[in-house]
């Protein structure tokens, strides 16, 4: 069995208090005693039990992460960033996935609460009054990332509205005058449209109102349906598809290739997120860089500030930037 501090006390003949002083570098202990105790601990392979420690300290030194879905190619970068940054602070990370199911998301959070994690990072697909009410009852600090949930919850992400506007401006400045925005439009089955995607759609509409270009909004379902012909869009070669995320853009790219339509010669293509897969795809997809690792790190840092009693910003928008790959023509 694993040796406990109590047993070390018994073996060395010192009290539990003294053993604790030795083990945890607390002062008020004779260096000799300390040596002696540490030696025994070492020999017996003593490992502190953080469960016991958590109970008495009221802190578990752990964070919980909830992501709605793991198909999302984003999450591994997010999780990585969170894990490494958390460990810098001595924190560990409970990872849970909600299987794209709002109810399951709540159940994940519940369990994390039961385990008394010190903070919860939620990359949520959930929204709405019920979810808010639920979250507001939780006594553990929560931070939402990437998908905005509610004004009452801290949020870290980017300004998706502005980002799409920037993307459109980039397309227009490159001479594209017919822009097709491809996005999921309505929720189907259980699946909810992510708030980030909603923001992006909103951004596109704002761009439409502000700038001068021909446009259309296409539902992903239609874009990928068997009989969708894209030739109708290829009129003057100044057409570009702007996709609500990279995954959509990559699927579209595959379809275009299959139909013999060349990117960027016949049509421009732009995605959103800059998922790491893009490095393997040709042509290199133009996209909006989402600083997902920074979001993860910032989330952890915000917790640490909060746990240290500092005031934290309620909404943090990190800078995004436009990456022009080779899936767009040069100006012309």
DSSP 8-state assignment for residue 14: -
Nearer to DNA, 39 or 57 (CB): 57
Task: Give me the 52-81 binding string for DNA, x by CB under 7 A, dash otherwise.
Answer: xx-xxxx-----------------------
How far apart are alpha carbons 8 and 129 in whole angstroms? 53
| Least distance to DNA, CB of residue 308, Å | 16
Per the listing, tokens 């979250």 go with: 135
308: how many CB neighbours lie within 10 A of its CB? 8
Q: Which does 28 bind (CB under 5 to 8 A by kind): DNA, its own copies, none?
A: DNA
Which residue from 147, 107, 134, 126 is spatially nearest to 192, judged by alpha carbons? 126
User: What stretches of 286-332 adopt beta strand conformation (E)?
Assistant: 287-289, 315-318, 321-323
Interface characters, 95-114, with its own copies (x: CB under 8 A): xxx-x----------xxxxx
Classify strands 268-270 and 315-318 as parallel, antiparallel or unpaired.
unpaired
Summary count for the chain: helices (H), strands (E): 12, 12
As measured in angstroms, the least distance from the Cβ of 97 to its own copies is: 5
Q: What is the DSSP letter of 232?
A: G
Binding string, residues 16-45; x marks residues near its own copies by CB under 8 A: -----------------------------x
Instruction: List the single partner that 45 binds among DNA, its own copies, none, CB under 5 to 8 Å by kind.
Output: its own copies
In the complex, minimum distance from the CB of residue 240 to its own copies, in angstroms, rounded to a whole number: 19
Please tell me whether residue 287 adopts helix, strand or coil conformation.
Answer: strand
- Residue 190's CB is within 10 A of a number of other CB atoms, namely 11
Binding to its own copies by CB under 8 A, coded x per residue (else -) over 262-281, reads ---------------x--xx
Q: Which does 282 bind (CB under 5 to 8 A by kind): its own copies, DNA, none?
A: its own copies
Q: Which of residues 121-140 bind its own copies (CB under 8 A)?
A: 137, 139
Given a contact cutoff of 8 angstroms between Cβ atoms, the answer to whether 180 and 233 are in contact is yes
Q: Does 1 bind its own copies (CB under 8 A)?
A: yes
Distance CA 241, CA 328 (A): 10
Using CB under 8 A as the criterion, what x/- string covers residues 279-298 for binding its own copies?
-xxx----------------
User: Which parts of this chain interact with DNA (CB under 7 A)?
Assistant: 4-6, 13-18, 20-21, 23-24, 28-34, 48-49, 51-53, 55-58
């Amino acid at each position: 069995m694993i040796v406990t501090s109590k047993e070390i006390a018994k073996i060395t003949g010192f009290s539990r208090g003294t053993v604790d002083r030795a083990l945890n570098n607390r002062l008020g202990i004779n260096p000799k005693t300390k040596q002696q105790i540490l030696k025994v601990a070492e020999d017996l392979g003593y490992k502190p039990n953080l469960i016991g420690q958590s109970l008495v300290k009221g802190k578990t030194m752990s964070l919980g992460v909830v992501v709605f879905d793991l198909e999302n190619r984003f999450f591994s970068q997010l999780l990585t960033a969170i894990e490494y940054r958390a460990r810098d602070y001595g924190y560990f990370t409970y990872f849970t996935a909600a299987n794209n199911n709002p109810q399951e998301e709540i159940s994940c959070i519940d369990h994390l609460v039961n385990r008394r994690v010190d903070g919860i990072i939620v990359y949520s697909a959930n929204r709405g009054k019920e979810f808010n009410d639920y979250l507001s009852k939780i006594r553990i600090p929560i931070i939402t990332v990437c998908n905005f949930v509610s004004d009452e919850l801290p949020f870290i992400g980017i300004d998706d509205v502005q980002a799409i506007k920037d993307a459109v401006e980039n397309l227009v400045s490159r001479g594209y005058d017919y822009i097709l925005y491809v996005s999921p439009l309505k929720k189907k089955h259980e699946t909810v449209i992510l708030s980030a995607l909603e923001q992006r759609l909103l951004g596109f509409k704002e761009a439409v109102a502000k700038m001068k270009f021909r446009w259309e909004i296409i539902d992903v379902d239609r874009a990928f349906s068997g009989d969708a012909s894209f030739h109708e869009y290829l009129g003057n070669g100044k057409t570009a598809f702007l996709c609500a995320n990279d995954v959509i853009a990559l699927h579209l790219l595959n379809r275009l290739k299959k139909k013999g339509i060349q990117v960027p010669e016949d049509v421009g293509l732009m995605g959103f997120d800059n998922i790491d897969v893009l490095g393997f795809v040709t042509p290199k997809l133009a996209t909006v860089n989402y600083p997902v690792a920074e979001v993860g790190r910032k989330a952890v840092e915000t917790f640490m500030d909060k746990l240290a009693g500092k005031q934290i910003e309620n909404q943090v928008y990190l800078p995004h930037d436009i990456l022009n790959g080779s899936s767009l023509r040069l100006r012309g």
